[in-house]
Amino acid sequence: MRPIPVVKAKNLAEALGYLADGGKPLAGGTDLLVAIRKGLEDPKLLVYVGELPELRVVQELAEGLEVGAALTHAELLAHPASERLPILREVLRTIGSPAIRAMGTLGGNLVTASPAGDSLVALYLLEARVRLVGPEGERELPVREFIVGPRKTALKNGELVRCVFLPYPEGQPHSFFRKVGRRRALVIAVASLGALVWVRSGRVERARLALGSVAPTVLRPQEVEEALVGRPVVPEAWVDLVPLLSATTHPISDLRASADYRRKVAGALLLDLANHLARL
Ligand SMILES: Cc1cc2nc3c(=O)[nH]c(=O)nc-3n(C[C@H](O)[C@H](O)[C@H](O)COP(=O)(O)OP(=O)(O)OC[C@H]3O[C@@H](n4cnc5c(N)ncnc54)[C@H](O)[C@@H]3O)c2cc1C
């Protein structure tokens, strides 16, 4: 493997200059360095962006939280501002291991755009907006438009993710995240389900669901979200939605699980959610 030069940009302008010359952003390196070792990526220059002050801002605004792309999962978990977004914390806690959470960043997880990217489940549930900066200035995209396919994003050459805006959900929804994998630690999801559920008088008032690892991108099963409205929060009242949820998925078979198994797990996770809510 040929050596790849790495530069550490002092500020955003310098980083954008290096990117314009064909550099590739490097944050925690937990995805990119693995991809380089496997020969899947061959950048001519790595531009370390992990310490750029412009990418490390956390701002509590009236309508939501702005989180710099270079914040690590561990830093976000330790930041008091993340307490207003319990779903984000539930998800981040499950990423990799303490070492991976100490190195891996929100921006890196987002740009890798894996269907199994755990933080994406929270970002889809919160209807996050991705703020990009490039030679032509800033632009913003909803996360659903930023992710265009498995490992494909709308990021243009020369652009960086500066931050992610996470709107606070209205009211007090219950948060839920469960991922199923082949072991308990360092788990890449075979299937995962995250949810924000607003409950009033024992019935679902509103629900947002997001499934990981069962489609080319994280999936919001809208039909199931709508069908849940008005249902009592007891698993028996949700059983007919299990096949409906499974039917919204488009999983692949790979070394971790078959497509059929992923479909079944996704359905079963809906009943886990019902059980969880029924116990509250
Ligand atoms: C052992 C192990 C376990 C893991 N477990 C999990 C897990 O449980 N769940 C999970 O979701 N992931 C997991 N991962 C994947 C990885 O740790 C995460 O995706 C992490 O968040 C990537 O962040 P990073 O900062 O390391 O990204 P990097 O590897 O530095 O970069 C990843 C990609 O993002 C780009 N990039 C980085 N920052 C920016 C930016 N600001 N703007 C534009 N592009 C940028 C890079 O150019 C590259 O293409 C695991 C990885 C390993 C090695």
- The one-character DSSP state at 219 is B
Position 185 pLDDT exceeds 80: no
> What's the total number of domains in the chain?
2
Query: Which CATH number fits the domain that encloses residue 265?
Result: 3.30.390.50
pLDDT of residue 105: 98
pLDDT mean over 45-63: 97
Residues 61 and 160 in one domain: yes
What is the CA(280)–ligand 1 centre distance, in A? 34
Given a cut of 90, is residue 189 above it in pLDDT? no
Decide: residue 269, CB within 10 A, 0-12 exposed, 13-18 middle, 19+ buried.
Answer: buried
Q: Which of 167, 187, 213 is the last residue of a domain?
A: 167
* Mean pLDDT rounded to a whole number for the chain: 95
Residue 4 lies in a domain: no
Q: Who lines ligand 1 at CB under 6 A?
A: 24-32, 34, 49, 55, 69, 95-96, 100, 103-105, 107-109, 111-112, 117-118, 155, 160-161, 186-188
Looking from the CA of residue 106, the nearest atom of ligand 1 is: 21
pLDDT of 162 reads: 98
Q: Is the pLDDT of residue 181 over 90?
A: no
Share of the chain above pLDDT 90, in %: 91
Element containing residue 245 per DSSP (H, E): helix 241-248
Alpha helices in 70-138 (DSSP H): 73-78, 86-92, 98-103, 106-112, 118-126
64 found inside a domain? yes
Confidence of residue 167 (pLDDT cuts 50, 70, 90): very high
Res 254: pLDDT = 84
Distance 225 CA to ligand 1 centre (A): 29
Residue nearest to atom 52 of ligand 1 (CA): 30
Q: Pick the residue whose CA is nearest to atom 38 on ligand 1.
A: 108
CA of 105 to the centre of ligand 1 (A): 6
The whole-number pLDDT of residue 26 equals 98
At residue 153, the pLDDT reads 98
Residue whose CB lies within 8 A of the most ligand 1 atoms, among 7, 26, 30, for a mutation test: 30
Domain end call among 120, 138, 167: 167
12-30: pLDDT as tens digits:
999 999 999 999 999 999 9
pLDDT for 146 equals 98
Helical ranges in 7-132 per DSSP H: 12-20, 32-37, 73-78, 86-92, 98-103, 106-112, 118-126
pTM of the complete model: 0.96
Last residue of a domain, one of 133, 167, 201: 167
- Domain containing 149 — which CATH number? 3.30.465.10
Least Cα distance to 174 among 49, 277, 40 occurs for 277
On the question of pLDDT at 56 being above 80, the answer is yes
Find the farthest-apart pair of alpha carbons in the chain and give their distance in angstroms, rounded. Answer: 63
User: Are 80 and 150 part of one and the same domain?
Assistant: yes
- Residue 90 and residue 96: Cα distance in Å, rounded? 13
pLDDT average, residue stretch 105-114: 98
241 CA → ligand 1 middle, Å: 34
Half-sphere exposure (CA, 13 Å, Cβ side) for 113?
18
**Residue 107, in any domain of the structure:** yes
Nearest CA to ligand 1 atom 27: 108
| Residue 15, pLDDT score | 98
Cα 46 to ligand 1 centre (Å): 14
Q: Tell me, in angstroms, the distance from the centre of ligand 1 to residue 262's CA.
A: 23
Q: Which domain holds residue 127?
A: 52-167
Instruction: Examine residue 263 and state whether it is found in any structural domain, yes or no.
Output: yes
Q: What confidence tens digit (pLDDT) does each residue in 125-147 have?
A: 999 999 999 999 999 999 999 99
Q: Which of 95, 119, 124 to mutate to test the pocket of ligand 1 (most atoms within 8 A of CB)?
A: 95
The pLDDT-based confidence of 58 (bands split at 50, 70, 90) is very high
Q: Are residues 156 and 140 in the same domain?
A: yes
